[in-house]
Amino acid sequence: QVHLVQSGTEVKEPGSSVTVSCKASGGTFNNYALTWVRQAPGQGLEWMGRVIPILDVANYALKFQGRITITADKSTNTAYMKLRGLRSDDTAVYYCTRGGDYNVLTGYLQEYIWFDPWGQGTLVTVSS
Amino acid sequence: DIQMTQSPSSLSASVGDRVTITCRASQNITNYLNWYQQRPGKAPKLLIYAASSLQSGLPSRFSGGGSGTDLTLTISSLQPEDFATYYCQQSYSTPYTFGQGTKLEI
């Protein structure tokens, strides 16, 4: 049973960067896509990107390209999401979630992708 | 990007009611559609995956249907704990996009 625990609340100034961590326990960390989703206050959910640890490959939503880096440390089963050039509209709760298993024999992620389980969320507030 | 539009945006109902939430995709997504429930201050929780498969351990009053561009989530008999916000999410192509949410209220 996979369990995801995220780092704590952050308060950042505009223009700075934030790194949120997500530590996984249970399951085979290397073989699933660790995904980041955010939710601005009172708003809906937004997919930001994902990393597949065994491949050390990440891909991102176009909206965040150039500002985001998602990495994974296989030795500690921890994923990281770094967002640079923070603006006030980056104020949100950031979630990590498992988003599909990677099959090392076929070289593909599972065909149907869903997000489960989720971390508890990390509130990032961007304010001067 | 594939746009996902849920209707209604909010819904008032009573315990025991049957409710249906619709998710419309901007293009054919066949059955690459998931549903989540989110309670205030909590992370989303997976309910339905691949349009109609119920997540393990969840009550059978939740069901998903449809295919193509119009998909549905039905709760057959509302229970007090079901009052929450529901989101659809397509996994047909990246960026995976969510509907704007449907708030289910008493």
Quick check: A115 and B32 CB within 8 A?
Answer: no
Q: Per-residue pLDDT tens for B42-82?
A: 999 999 999 999 999 999 999 999 999 999 999 999 999 99
Q: Which has the minimum average pLDDT: A17-21, A52-56, B22-26?
A: A52-56
Chain A partners within 8 Å of B91 (Cβ): 112-114
CA distance A6 to A19: 11
Chain B partners within 8 Å of A97 (Cβ): 43
Half-sphere exposure of A55 (CA within 13 A, CB side): 19
Chain B partners within 8 Å of A95 (Cβ): 43-44
For A114, which of B34, B99, B101 is closest by C-beta distance?
Answer: B34
Nearest to B89 by CA among A89, A92, A35, A78: A35
Taken as a whole, chain A contains a residue count of 128
Banded model confidence at residue A110, pLDDT cuts 50, 70, 90: confident
* Number of CB pairs, chain A paired with chain B, less than 8 A apart: 55
- Average pLDDT on A89-103 reads 95
